[in-house]
Amino acid sequence: MTNLKNDIFLRALLKQPVEYTPIWMMRQAGRYLQEYNETRARAGDFLTLCKTPSLATEVTLQPLERFPLDAAILFSDILTIPDAMGLGLYFAQGEGPMFERPLRDEQAINNLNIPDPNTDLRYVMDAVAEIRKALNNRVPLIGFSGSPFTLACYMVEGRGGTDFREIKTMLYDRPDLLHRILDKNAQAVTTYLNAQIDSGAQAIMIFDTWGGALSHSAYREFSLRYIHQIIDGLIKQKDNLRIPNIVFTKGGGLWLESIAEISCDAVGLDWTIDIGEARRRVGEKVALQGNLDPSILFASPAVISKEVDKILSSYGNGSGHVFNLGHGISQFTPPENAAALVEAVHTLSRQYH
Amino acid sequence: MTNLKNDIFLRALLKQPVEYTPIWMMRQAGRYLQEYNETRARAGDFLTLCKTPSLATEVTLQPLERFPLDAAILFSDILTIPDAMGLGLYFAQGEGPMFERPLRDEQAINNLNIPDPNTDLRYVMDAVAEIRKALNNRVPLIGFSGSPFTLACYMVEGRGGTDFREIKTMLYDRPDLLHRILDKNAQAVTTYLNAQIDSGAQAIMIFDTWGGALSHSAYREFSLRYIHQIIDGLIKQKDNLRIPNIVFTKGGGLWLESIAEISCDAVGLDWTIDIGEARRRVGEKVALQGNLDPSILFASPAVISKEVDKILSSYGNGSGHVFNLGHGISQFTPPENAAALVEAVHTLSRQYH
């Protein structure tokens, strides 16, 4: 049994009955909130914010103070693992995350070590524990990681937002090398996520931000296969409670059936797919999370409400839907529009349950 | 009857029997070719290259001198129309195309004029005529345009590669304004493409580069609807020859059935979809063009050959397939690998016909 005051998010992921559709927002602790920017300024820089458990706890809880969200998500970065592997993560002004030592050389790949989450990534585990304490069972806490392929994109390219030239050249020219990286990443992610569960994470999400850049067959071989490996290795139950997991490949709408087959509990959707169609395609296999275009939050509350209703009615009756955006909330979102979203989901969804 | 020495591209688009699968490459006249860079240097800048028919002719033919491609495509830019509308197109160093006067104001939208292709875009029509002459019926010439939505992205955002914040805000907050732009764009594209056909274009391609950024329902309302309008208005036959058209929405794999329903002749595919699956989904309605990941051209000829064969065998027997990349060829492609691609398609495809 759960001590949670609000466990509707966990129930929806397990397709158990709920009174309304739960909602949280990817990147809900972020730059669109003034209080976040204040904490970040206090931290000095983004990495210090991630690496200081008390500050990570503070920003994790900020959106929950504003909006009646149904889940909290650990504030951290997806690049903690390659950082702990020693690739030299840094944030260049206006450039996003970069690595000092991109991983392209066979020797360096062979020497890649799998971080011990309880020492090398202690600050993440401490943050998880501190957030759980601060949440005081208000809502569940989601732990997360990037997928092995998404991490490898950053590791090999040395940065995000590229044309994937380096990693795709490796993929097609030296698939053995990329498989070696991905295998290490999968091991690293598995132990990292299990350590998060041990520290208090009550659900797990895997972000496959760049898997959608792959061809249909390369996706299966170089991304999904390793996510599957992680899902197989995850702790599924703790203190008699199920720890559900969510897999989100942005741009993966064409591959839903394959994703649903890896025994994950839920699949995240971006806004390019009709959620009702997605539900018909995956059947009863998994719950679905999504899928509002975050840009809709630039419009009026009336428009937001109408678009929320479209998604709710397309999903239809019954449990198994966690409302979310199809991508992280934009830094330019007016917070009152995020409030309107949460309100709309909570109010309009009751008729479907 | 055609005077073309090689009309296999046109026959494949019309699903008529062919001896092998024809191939051309998006952006086949481009920076990966040294001779292109030399002509461009001679032109001084990219816009002059586009606007000087003799230079546009020269670069259009360059890839045909290197590779036995089955079609030529007009060398031009997708932003010629908004440029002719007076938005002030320019190319900032390392930034791609930009507009001096992005279109966001209702008054400016109402005042938008539809260019007369035979005067305002005379240089394009002259280039088409000159290229046809230079081709001397060797292979067919493809004319093209951006889709109304893709043009609107540049027009409203003022540049490419954005997060679509401006245009999506308009889409959700003032859909009436965006529809006004799109309606004018659709009229402008229709007359522009018909003028290209009058000047000698033997097939037409519509590039919907950014439609894939939309939600499934917004795509239908704000992109596909206007492409449909253009297809309906296109000249379909000239001198007793069919002028086939191809619609390519990058990232549109989930929406294939809807695209195939607008009576276009062919649908372009990016590499995220299995072409065999795409063929099953669209049935006999349309031909398909695609869909090799251009990154595969960074690998060895042996890998290229293997990946080509995967696509050919997935498509299977019979006509209706035009081989292409799923996106423009990268400037970093070794030309000998492009040669290996063309050779592989021509050789390996014979067994399927």
What average pLDDT does this structure show over A255-278? 98
> How confident is residue B91, by pLDDT bands cut at 50, 70 and 90?
confident
Give pLDDT, residue A286.
98
Distance of CA B321 to CAs B19, B174, B344, Å? 12, 40, 15
- pLDDT of A259 > 90? The answer is yes
Tokens of B41: 């240097």
The DSSP-derived string for A41-53 is HHHSSHHHHHH-H
Q: Name the helix (H) or strand (E) containing B39.
A: helix B34-43
Give pLDDT, residue A104.
86
Q: What is the pLDDT of residues B159-168, one digit of tens each?
A: 887 889 999 9
What average pLDDT does this structure show over B121-149? 98
Give pLDDT, residue A91.
86
B172 vs A: CB within 8 A: yes
B166 vs A: CB within 8 A: no
Give pLDDT, residue A94.
75
| Length, in residues, of chain A | 353
Q: What is the pLDDT of residues B1-47, one digit of tens each?
A: 569 999 999 999 999 999 999 999 999 999 999 999 999 999 999 99
Query: CB–CB of B168 and A273 under 8 A?
Result: no
Give pLDDT, residue A161.
78
Q: What is the pLDDT of residues A295-315, one digit of tens each?
A: 999 999 999 999 999 999 999
Q: Pairing mode, if any, of strands A96-99 and A89-92?
A: antiparallel
> Residue B183 region, left (φ>0) first, then alpha (ψ -120 to 50), else beta?
alpha
Give the integer Cα–Cα distance in Å for A12 and A310. Answer: 19
Give pLDDT, residue B235.
98
Give pLDDT, residue B161.
78
Q: Is A31 a catalytic residue?
A: yes
What average pLDDT does this structure show over A33-40? 98
Neighbours of A18 (CB within 10 A): 24
Q: Is A40 a catalytic residue?
A: yes
Bridge partner residues of B290 (DSSP): B323
pTM exceeding 0.90: yes
Q: Of A55-59, A268-272, B239-243, B342-346, which gets the smallest average pLDDT?
A: B239-243
Give the integer Cα–Cα distance in Å for A124 and A293. Answer: 30
Give pLDDT, residue B291.
98
What average pLDDT does this structure show over A270-290? 97
Q: Count how many Cα atoms sit within 13 Å of the Cα of residue B192 in the half-sphere of its side chain.
A: 30
Percent of chain B whose pLDDT exceeds 90: 95
Q: ipTM of the assembly?
A: 0.94
Give pLDDT, residue B162.
83
Give pLDDT, residue B92.
81
Q: What is the pLDDT of residues A120-134, one digit of tens each?
A: 999 999 999 999 999
What average pLDDT does this structure show over B166-191? 97
Give pLDDT, residue A141.
98
In a mutagenesis test of the A interface, which of B270, B295, B303, B314 is the best target, namely the one with the most A β-carbons within 10 Å?
B295
> How confident is residue A165, by pLDDT bands cut at 50, 70 and 90?
very high
Tokens of B206: 């519509």
Q: How far apart are the first and last CA of chain B?
A: 22
CA-based nearest residue to A28, from A339, A347, A328: A328
Which residue reads 């539809």 in tokens? B114
B4 vs A: CB within 8 A: no
A and B: number of Cβ contacts within 8 A: 91
A332 vs B: CB within 8 A: yes
Instruction: Give contacts of B258 with chain A, Cβ < 8 Å.
Output: none
Bridge partner residues of B104 (DSSP): none
Among chain A residues, CA nearest to B168: A295
Give the integer Cα–Cα distance in Å for B268 and B253. Answer: 9
The DSSP-derived string for A162-183 is S--HHHHHHHHH-HHHHHHHHH
- pLDDT of B96 > 90? The answer is no
Instruction: Give contacts of B281 with chain A, Cβ < 8 Å.
Output: none
A211 vs B: CB within 8 A: no
Give the integer Cα–Cα distance in Å for B148 and B180. Answer: 11
Q: Of A158-162, A316-320, B48-52, B96-100, which gets the smallest average pLDDT?
A: A158-162
Amino acid identity at B333:
T
> How confident is residue B253, by pLDDT bands cut at 50, 70 and 90?
very high
Please name the member of B172, B296, B326 whose beta carbon is closest to the beta carbon of A172. Answer: B296
B119 vs A: CB within 8 A: no
Q: Are A214 and A172 in contact (CB under 8 A)?
A: no
Q: Is A42 a catalytic residue?
A: no
- pLDDT of B169 > 60? The answer is yes
Q: Is A27 a catalytic residue?
A: yes
